[in-house]
Structure 1
Amino acid sequence: MAIFEIQFVSDFVCAWCYIAKRNLDSAITFYQKTYPGGKHDTFAITWTPYFLNYNPHAHSIDKLELADIRLADQTPEQRAALTRRMNRAGLASGINFDWGGKLGPNPATRDAHRLVHLVGTAGGRYDGETQRNLVEAIFDAYHCRAQDVANHDVLLEAARRAGVRAGDAQAWLQSDEAGDVIDQEAEKNKSTTARSGVPTLVIQNTHRPEGVPDVMDLMEIFVQIREAQS
């Protein structure tokens, strides 16, 4: 049995990060279904934070208004082309993007990252699948349901959908537990692991696929690692 260790550096407001996460899910499923003995191999994913800090205001603001600011140097035609490209890439990964909704003040995703971290360090109460489901639910809330993931009610609903106990999620969000850990990791990732931005994947501490790797790129890396271990 092989163990694949994967560090996934991302921020929940990053559409490309969601696509990369979906591609990773698909690659793992494909590997475990097709590679001889692959169903017995283990994928240990560490979800680490990055703050993109898109919202410079002290209050929640419409995402489309933020896009106007961030993409002010693009023509309407360029923006339309970018949206079409993102929508096509999303649909290819099973994501139907909704570009509406709001985003809270910076760091808007701090509590979302805290919640994911605490589920992963809850003393064995939750497994890696629950944590991965929570990551998926938060991405889905922001990118497909047009919800503000700085809002605790949104995070509580995402936690419920992922199978996290309501009492745990409420207690964690009402506190600032692991806030210092998340702040330090996010700062470290900007200066070291994810210097070129997100998404950043590091597989087995060696392989760093560039940009948003597709399913077959990831599959080739998994096979290469597995055969090297054999």
Structure 2
Amino acid sequence: MIVPLNPLPCLTYPKTRHKRRNTMALIKIEIISDAICPWCYIGYRNLQKAISLYRKTYPGGSKDIIEVWWKPYFIDQEPPKESILIQDRMLRRMDPKMVAAAQTRLKRVGTDAGIRFKFGGYIGSSRLAHQLLYLAAREGSELQCRVSELLFHYQFEEETDISQLDTVIAVGVQAGLREDDVREWLASSAGVAEMEAEAKKARADGVTGVPHFVIGGKHHMEGAMDMSELFEAFVAVREGQSS
């Protein structure tokens, strides 16, 4: 059952006590991610905290425009034919002790990020989820962020399989898209070729793991970076420093 979620905002605009700059900057952030990756969820929460810190503490940061865009990556280059239990998926790659340790770590780190991970659900292909994200991007970065967070939330906190069509449609509607538009989009091949091309390009460009952040078009950071590292990248972009 889909449980309504009030996701954290993609962009926050808190007040700042610092002296403001006279100019406004655009900081564009791309997150190369897979909706079935728990560390991508953690990485996004850390990014949200870094954005909030930047707006509160960096001079003029509250005036700057920060856009967050999601780019596709397929952990499973060949989509699985059917969903399986998350536990069974992890056991295909690790022994039972390693699975237990990995889940314990994810729960601990997730709690710090405000995520309550559960591992009792099913998990499958992320193709439909990426197709929905591609549709959402046409409506803007904020809507795409809402869709992405909802996908993560249902997969990892509500134990709801986001490879299922009804789930993906419900996510799109809850995020603010029209149900008819979502159904028509997912039933067609619209955006699929472009989505696949972007995912292949990411691998060709050397992306081997996710999340992978591209900040300001030049600062590449792989993994669930902590808030301070992301904040420093924002400052470097804002001040025109090279990576």
Bigger drift between 84-93 and 208-217 goes to: 208-217
Q: Structure 1: how far apart are the matches of 2:121 and 2:97?
A: 23
**Residue matched to 1:212:** 224
Name the residue aligned to 1:160: 173
Asked whether 1:191 is paired with 2:204, we answer yes
SS in 1 for 2:28: strand
Deviation string, structure 1 residues 51-108 (Cα, Å, up to 9, x no partner): 111887522222211111121xx3x33332221111111111111111121123xxx1
Match of 2:186 in 1: 173
1:101 is matched with: 121
- Output the amino acid matched with 1:78: M
Decide which structure has greater helix share.
Answer: 1
Select the residue among 118, 124, 133 that pairs with 1:116. Answer: 133
Question: Residues 4-23 of structure 1: matches in 2 within 5 Å?
Answer: 4-23=27-46
Deviation per residue, 1:125-160 (Å, 9 max, x gap):
x33211111110011111111111111111112112
Deviation of 1:4 after TM superposition, in Å, equals 0.7
Shift in alpha-carbon separation, 1:112–1:57, aligned structure 2, 3 A: closer
Would you say 1:49 and 2:72 are equivalent positions? yes
1:80 to 100, 103, 106: 100
Deviates more, 1:54-63 or 1:22-31: 54-63
> Alpha carbons of 1:190 and 1:228: their partners in 2 closer, same or farther (altered >3 Å)?
closer
Provide the secondary structure at the position in 2 that maps to 1:39: coil
Structure 2 residue identity aligned to 1:152: L
Following superposition, the deviation at residue 161 of structure 1 comes to 2.1
The unaligned stretches of length 5 or more in structure 2 are 1-23
Q: Give, in whole Å, the separation in 2 of the partners of 1:202 and 1:99.
A: 29
Comparing 16-25 and 218-227, the one that deviates more: 218-227
- The answer as to 2:223 corresponding to 1:203 is no
- Residue 33 of structure 1 aligns with an amino acid whose one-letter code is K
TM-score by length of 2: 0.83
Question: How many residues end up aligned between the 2 structures?
Answer: 218
Deviation at residue 178 of structure 1 after TM alignment: 0.4
In 2, Cα distance between equivalents of 1:79 and 1:60: 19
Cα 1:63–1:78 change in 2 (3 A) is closer
Change (3 A) 1:179 1:56: closer
TM-score (norm 1): 0.88
Matched, 1:131 2:151: no
The structure-2 alpha-carbon separation of the partners of 1:56 and 1:130, relative to structure 1 and needing over 3 Å to count, comes to closer
Contact in 2 for aligned 1:55/1:66 (Cα 8 Å): no
Q: Retained in 1: the 8 A contact 2:39–2:211?
A: yes
RMSD: 1.8
Counterpart CA distance in 1 for 2:176 and 2:77 is 29
Runs (4+) of structure 1 exceeding 6 A deviation are none
My pick for the range that moved more, 61-70 or 137-146, is 61-70
Per the TM alignment, residue 193 of structure 1 is displaced from its structure 2 partner at its CA by 4.7
8 Å contact kept, 1:5–1:43: yes
SS in 1 for 2:219: coil
